[in-house]
Structure 1
Amino acid sequence: MWMSKVYYTNMHTTLSENLLQKLARLVKQAGMLEQIDFSNKYTAIKLHFGEPGNLAYLRPNYSKVLVDLIRSQGGRVFLTDCNTLYVGRRKNALDHLDSAYEDGYNPFATGCHVIIGDGLKGTDDILVPVDGEYVREAKIGRAVMDADIIISLTHFKGHEAAGFGGALKNIGMGCGSRAGKMEMHNSGKPHVDAGLCVGCGACVRQCAHGAITLESGKASIDTAVCAGCGRCIGTCPMDAVAADNNEANDILNKKIAEYALAVLQGRPHFHVSLVVDVSPYCDCHSENDIPIVPNVGMFASFDPVALDLACADAVNRQPVIEGSVLSGRNHCHGDHFTDTHPDTNWKVAIDHAVKLGLGSREYELITV
């Protein structure tokens, strides 16, 4: 087992160096500009724009640091994320772009454009072969797969299903199209809430497999015919179609690792995680609770597995913030994330990613 290098800097500043300058120095010393040829290459910076209402998401200023560095090397860079499976303000590209702009992710603030990776309705994807335990063909947003280089910029925080949201989840879940997210989150198919359905037939017209019919003025999905593409979720004007989110958390974590492999295999990639505003829940929430631990710092590595583990280890060394969700939990697991969400085990994704050859559990932490 090889030992990966993970670079780290804290959140302290001086009169001569602010946080953005520290991030630039961190990325340079980690070797991103030296080891990746960005010249005239399409470079996707994968991040989470934040569900409007949530204020724990990463400020767009951080992304501009990476954009400016990549552009200085001749890279053709864009920010990207894929549409959501859940019903919210990021379930189609138009609302998603509005949300990104509202949260500050616009060309004026970041220096580059935003491209929603899986298109207008979350159905513009590519089937990517992957030799996984659960996944054989990952459904990845087309714009993500069209990129020559992948850079992940991750807000490291808790997550109610995965334990925490780190680089693997940012890449694996985040780059999945709606059908991909359906595959990761569900062991079943979408369902219709008859109370919300108005029988407009939009889902019937959009279904490419003939799985949806109108019965007594309400849509009905034949799960034996349904392919799980999720097109109906993005089409319904009443948000009456939703996924079940019924996959076991351990299997979800393994699928996330397998999707991350599909995204990263065969092309250059680099990863940055900011362990700040470590909220207990995902940035997909339209709200955020107070952080569970103090701000830790910024981490960077070519190895997303080692990076996630280094961030988790750093969080677990921190004191619990009084009054946070974590402070009210029963601390019986010896782990801040599992104590916050006892039904999760984030180590499953790490172990599975190592098994897949995505990275190393052994790392050297280098302070810059």
Structure 2
Amino acid sequence: MSEVFYTSLRTRVGESLLDKLERLVRRAGMDKIDFNNKYVAIKLHFGEPGNLAFIRPQYVARIVKLIKEWGGKPFLTDCNTLYVGGRKNALDHLESAYQNGFNPYNTGAHVVIADGLKGLDEVLVPVPDGKHVKEAKIGRALMDADIIISLTHFKGHEAAGFGGVIKNIGMGGGSRAGKMEQHSAGKPYVQQDICVGCHKCEQYCAHDAVHVTDGKSFITEEKCVGCGRCVGVCPVDAISPMWDEANTVLSEKMAEYTAAIVRNRSRFHISFVMDVSPYCDCHGENDMPIVPDVGIMASYDLVALDQACVDKVNAQPPMPGSLLDEKIEKSWDHFHTIAPDTDWEAALVRAEQLGLGTRSYSIVEVK
């Protein structure tokens, strides 16, 4: 059984939530990690422009401050997105991060986009016991780091059920090609009405699967290996993944990608169970929270932490007027009520099988 440390959002006069966060991580033993002269990847989601539910930069700044006090060299990181938006390449991603307050002046740490300018800078990491993934495609900066600290905004997700530590690290840490592998069992396709025939995809394909004919790109499925390079380099976003993976398999793949990133490495995890929006921070908007704010939770065990967070949320009453409150048919599982085709439990079961932690936990409350 693992310990999950929890603090509520109640404060007294003269004490801020930043002080409670620091007390929480100290009590949870984060300072036991040897940070001295180590590169520390702080993995978080910077929020899509227009979304306001992401973790406040002030919380991040306090964690950065502590890591520096303990001798570490922290940087904030995430990988580029597979879909079109404000974080599909490093330049747009940095701009989005800065707009949302994640810059060196606010947080005390630089932002490094882990998979590089176009999402092609990756490391192939073996997953010898993978059921779906044998070689995960991970953003290089994440694998170059000595220590992984995850800061997760816990919320709902339309494909994974909820977005917790496994989603943050596993899906978030995958390069654009890694994200495509998790989301899709098929090959990418070209939207001919958008394609401008620039030959970029043809130049980057290592398998001679892409050719431009009569000003339009075509993919030969027999040659395509589904690596996703063409998706990353297309300047007009004319090439898209199939988005055809079943949600149970998606959840299991995320766990296997998480294993590729965290195994045999020092790591610690903090989840902010507040502003629990029904959908991912990848949206350019955020709906009102589905439940009242719960608090902040931390653990060395990412499986126990995700399980504890989902249990805490499911124990809350629906927020009046929220999407959850509007659902006529409700179950004990708030996330399944909102997205009934999802299977969040599959990620936890698979992560436990992979030895990443246990779903059995005890709560230690930090006042």
Query: In which range does the TM-score fall when normalised by the shorter chain?
Result: over 0.9
Equivalent in the alignment of 2:19: 21
After TM superposition, the score normalised by the length of structure 2 is 0.98
Equivalent in the alignment of 1:5: 3
Deviations 1:124-175 (A, max 9, x none): 1111111211111111111000111000000000000000000011010010
Moved more, 220-229 or 88-97: 220-229
The residue identity in structure 2 corresponding to 1:69 is: L
Equivalent in the alignment of 1:107: 104
| Residue number among 200, 205, 208 corresponding to 1:207 in the alignment | 205
Equivalent in the alignment of 2:34: 37
- Partners of 1:250 and 1:344 within 8 A in 2: yes
1:263-274 equivalences in 2 (<5 Å): 263-274=261-272
- Quote the Cα distance in structure 2 between the aligned partners of 1:302 and 1:37: 14
| 2:123 is the alignment partner of 1:126 | yes
Equivalent in the alignment of 1:89: 86
Equivalent in the alignment of 2:69: 72
SS in 2 for 1:315: helix
1:219-368 equivalences in 2 (<5 Å): 219-368=217-366
- Partners of 1:129 and 1:136 within 8 A in 2: yes
SS in 2 for 1:306: helix
SS in 1 for 2:172: helix
The residue identity in structure 2 corresponding to 1:93 is: A
Q: CA deviation at 1:332?
A: 4.2
- Quote the Cα distance in structure 1 between the aligned partners of 2:363 and 2:35: 26
Unaligned runs of 5+ in 2: none
- Partners of 1:123 and 1:229 within 8 A in 2: no
Equivalent in the alignment of 1:143: 141
Unaligned runs of 5+ in 1: none
- Quote the Cα distance in structure 2 between the aligned partners of 1:85 and 1:238: 13
SS in 2 for 1:44: strand
- Quote the Cα distance in structure 2 between the aligned partners of 1:326 and 1:103: 27
After TM superposition, the score normalised by the length of structure 1 is 0.97
- Quote the Cα distance in structure 1 between the aligned partners of 2:40 and 2:245: 32
Q: CA deviation at 1:214?
A: 1.4
- Quote the Cα distance in structure 2 between the aligned partners of 1:179 and 1:198: 22
The residue identity in structure 2 corresponding to 1:110 is: T
Q: CA deviation at 1:221?
A: 1.2
Equivalent in the alignment of 2:150: 152
SS in 1 for 2:336: helix
Identity %: 61
Q: CA deviation at 1:357?
A: 0.8
- Quote the Cα distance in structure 1 between the aligned partners of 2:316 and 2:121: 42
- Partners of 1:178 and 1:229 within 8 A in 2: no
| 2:22 is the alignment partner of 1:55 | no
Deviations 1:185-211 (A, max 9, x none): 001011111111122222212222221
The residue identity in structure 1 corresponding to 2:353 is: K
